[in-house]
Amino acid sequence: MSDSFLDLGETPQPAAKADAYRVLARKYRPQTFSQLIGQDAMVTTLGNAIKRDRLAHAFLLTGVRGVGKTSTARLIAKALNCIGPDGQGGPTIDPCGVCEPCRAIAEGRHIDVIEMDAASHTGIDDIREIIEASRYAAVSARYKIYIIDEVHMLSKAAFNGLLKTLEEPPGHVKFLFATTEVNKVPVTVLSRCQRFDLRRIPAELLAGHFAHVVAAEGFEAEPEALALIARAAEGSARDGLSILDQAIAHAGMEGEGVRADAVRAMLGLSDRGAIRELFRLLLAGEAAPALAALRGQYDLGVDPQAVLRTLLETVHGVTLAKVGAAPPAGQSAEEREALGHWAESLSFSMLHRLWQLLLKGHDEVARAALPIEACEMALLRVIHASSLPDPGELARALAEGRGPALPAGGPPHGASAPAPAEAPVAAAEPEPAPPALPDSVEAIADLLEKHGRHTLQVQVRNHVRPIRLEPPELEMSGARPLPTDFTRDLGLALREITGQTWSILIGEGAGNPTLRETLAAQAEAERAEILASPLVVAAMAAFPGAELDHWKRKDGSIAR
Final residue of a domain: which of 143, 163, 197? 197
pLDDT of residue 380: 92
Q: Which helix (H) or strand (E) holds 513?
A: none
pLDDT of residue 5: 40
Final residue of a domain: which of 197, 227, 247? 197
Is residue 424 in some structural domain? no
pLDDT of residue 311: 92
In this structure, are 178 and 217 located in the same domain?
no
pLDDT one-digit tens code per residue, 219-276: 888 888 888 888 888 888 888 898 888 888 877 655 578 888 788 777 766 667 788 8
**pLDDT(410) > 70:** no
1 CB-side CA count, 13 A: 3
Is residue 7 in some structural domain? no
**pLDDT(393) > 70:** no
In this structure, are 137 and 185 located in the same domain?
yes
List strands edge to edge, sheet with 194-197: 113-117, 144-149, 173-179, 58-62, 194-197
In this structure, are 153 and 261 located in the same domain?
no
Q: Please, which pLDDT band fits residue 291 given cuts at 50, 70 and 90?
A: very high
**pLDDT(385) > 90:** no
- Domains of the chain: total: 5
In this structure, are 40 and 184 located in the same domain?
yes
In this structure, are 168 and 247 located in the same domain?
no
Is residue 353 in some structural domain? yes
Contact between 78 and 95 under an 8 Å Cβ cutoff? The reply is yes
Residue-range definition of the domain harbouring residue 259? 203-267
pLDDT of residue 554: 65
pLDDT higher at 286 or 389: 286
Is residue 319 in some structural domain? yes
Whichever domain contains 450, its CATH number is 3.30.300
Is residue 354 in some structural domain? yes
Is residue 211 in some structural domain? yes
Whether the link from the prior residue into 85 is cis, omega within 30° of 0, is no
pLDDT one-digit tens code per residue, 26-53: 888 888 888 888 888 888 888 888 888 8
Contact between 201 and 38 under an 8 Å Cβ cutoff? The reply is yes
Contact between 65 and 240 under an 8 Å Cβ cutoff? The reply is no
pLDDT of residue 489: 84
In this structure, are 465 and 533 located in the same domain?
no
Is residue 87 in some structural domain? yes
Contact between 394 and 496 under an 8 Å Cβ cutoff? The reply is no
**pLDDT(426) > 60:** no
Final residue of a domain: which of 494, 512, 530? 512
Whichever domain contains 132, its CATH number is 3.40.50.300
Q: What is the mean pLDDT of residues 271-290?
A: 86
Whichever domain contains 259, its CATH number is 1.10.8.60
pLDDT of residue 406: 45
Rounded to the nearest integer, the mean pLDDT of the chain is: 81
**pLDDT(405) > 80:** no
In this structure, are 102 and 126 located in the same domain?
yes
DSSP, collapsed to helix, strand or coil, labels residue 433 as coil
pLDDT of residue 408: 40
Q: What is the mean pLDDT of residues 463-481?
A: 82
**pLDDT(416) > 70:** no
pLDDT of residue 65: 86
CA angle 422–425–427, rounded 5-degree value: 130
In this structure, are 132 and 258 located in the same domain?
no
Length of the chain: 560
